[in-house]
Amino acid sequence: MSEVNLRKVVKLFEGGVQAVRGIDLEIADHEFCVLVGPSGCGKSTTLRMIAGLEEVSEGEIWIGGTMVNDIPPKDRDIAMVFQNYALYPHMTVFENMAFGLKLRHFPKDEIKRRVDRAASILSIGELLDRKPKALSGGQRQRVAMGRAIVRDPKVFLFDEPLSNLDAKLRVQMRTEIKKVHQAVKTTTIYVTHDQVEAMTLADRVVVMNHGVIEQVGPPNELYHHPATIFVAGFIGSPAMNFIPARLVNAAGALTIQLGQGLSVPVPADRTARYAPHASKKLLFGIRPEHLTETTRTDKQNLAPITVDLDVIEPMGMETLVHFRIEGTPVCARVDPAAGAQAGAPMRLAAHMDQMHLIDADTGRVL
């Protein structure tokens, strides 16, 4: 049993800065949980409190059924992988991986067995005699992971482990980390500011902002059903468009008015949900991938809009087009063959079953 529970955890730094403002989180055994958010949102501080590298100001942290607030890092049975690898520069790869086991007085043959097993999982068997400075960034990161694996701890903690790698290697190591988790199944808490990493790796994603949890859920739930404007804007790339809107009730049918003469109908199944909010200041949220050329799909609930394109960005597999609705910049994703041209008008379709309506004052998705 190696679940991790956070109960009303608060971190107050000297000078009164509240980095974490009372978060509750339950991470199940074997789960891969990713904490994601912009810098300064408290995700790393939360991880460091779980590791025991920062004291908990208020609240409780439980690992595997034990309250660990006052237990030093070494006795928490956790292993951590750092952003800059933190390999011991004077030790070989083998010694780096064996260090934790040696300090715990494991027998020599057991140390060798564990290091060899981790090395084969990570394909670093031939590097065991090298010093860290003779390794590439990706290899160093593997060794850092190996150092965690050999300990066979209750929980793996990853603190932005891929941030120091180049884009290509990052994608490769991401797959590698997922593979390792599938092989060893240890409960994992992973901190990143990269939402793509969060989406691809996590069983559950925890989106943090300003020291609080905005939303917790599986990646697809966060993508399709964001709870707040922050989550809606943070998850997905390019980010969701937010256009100031008004709800208009015309002859019993609700429509969303985006500007002069530009309105889209509310899907029938959402009419009852949105009707009470007609008087509020609202934002119409739609992802670029749900604003497409009209010929692309024959799905229902498509609302046609015609816009004047400002900029087009061909990406190969798709083309991003930028335009403005009442001064608000909007991005759409269209087929490269759709014939988008800068400065020319284009007819687009908004996929209304994928839209979101957001209360502009509270930031809640309605």
Partner 1 sequence: MTAATARRDFPRAYGKVGSLHRERLWALRLSYTSLIVAAIIFLAPPVYMLMTSLKTNAEMADQTLSPWLVRSPTLEHYGATLENPLFLGFFANSAIVTLLVVSITMVISVLAAFALSRMRFWGSQTLATGVFLTYLVPDTLLFIPLYQIVGGLGLLNSIWGLVLVYPTLTVPFCTWIMIGYFASIPKELDEAALIDGASWPQMLLKIFIPVALPGIIAATIFAFTVSWAAFVYPTAFITRPEEMPLTIGVVSQLVRGDTFAWGQIMAGALLAALPPVVVYVFLMDYYIAGLTAGATKG
Catalog residues that contact partner 1 under the rule CB under 8 A. 51-53, 72-74, 78-80, 82-84, 86-90, 99-100, 103-104, 147, 151
Are residues 4 and 119 in contact, defined by beta-carbon separation less than 8 angstroms?
no
Q: Which is nearer to partner 1, 84 or 200 (CB)?
A: 84
Tokens 């994703």 belong to: 333
Cα dihedral 339, 342, 345, 351, rounded to 10, equals: 70
Shortest separation between residue 103's beta carbon and partner 1, angstroms: 4
Tokens 């060893």 belong to: 184
Q: Which is nearer to partner 1, 53 or 227 (CB)?
A: 53
Q: Which two tokens stand for residue 346?
A: 């284009």
Shortest separation between residue 74's beta carbon and partner 1, angstroms: 4
Q: Is the dihedral of CA 123, 127, 133, 136 positive or negative?
A: negative
Shortest separation between residue 364's beta carbon and partner 1, angstroms: 38
Q: Which is nearer to partner 1, 90 or 113 (CB)?
A: 90
Q: Is the dihedral of CA 348, 353, 359, 365 positive or negative?
A: negative
Shortest separation between residue 86's beta carbon and partner 1, angstroms: 4
- List phi, psi (to 5°) of 356: -135, 145
Q: Which is nearer to partner 1, 81 or 216 (CB)?
A: 81
Q: Which is nearer to partner 1, 144 or 254 (CB)?
A: 144
Q: Which is nearer to partner 1, 160 or 214 (CB)?
A: 160
Shortest separation between residue 6's beta carbon and partner 1, angstroms: 19
* Strand ranges of the sheet holding 4-12, from the earlier edge strand across to the other edge: 18-27, 4-12, 58-63, 66-67
Q: Can you spell out the DSSP letters for 134-180?
A: GS-HHHHHHHHHHHHHHT--SEEEEESTTTTS-HHHHHHHHHHHHHH
Shortest separation between residue 234's beta carbon and partner 1, angstroms: 27
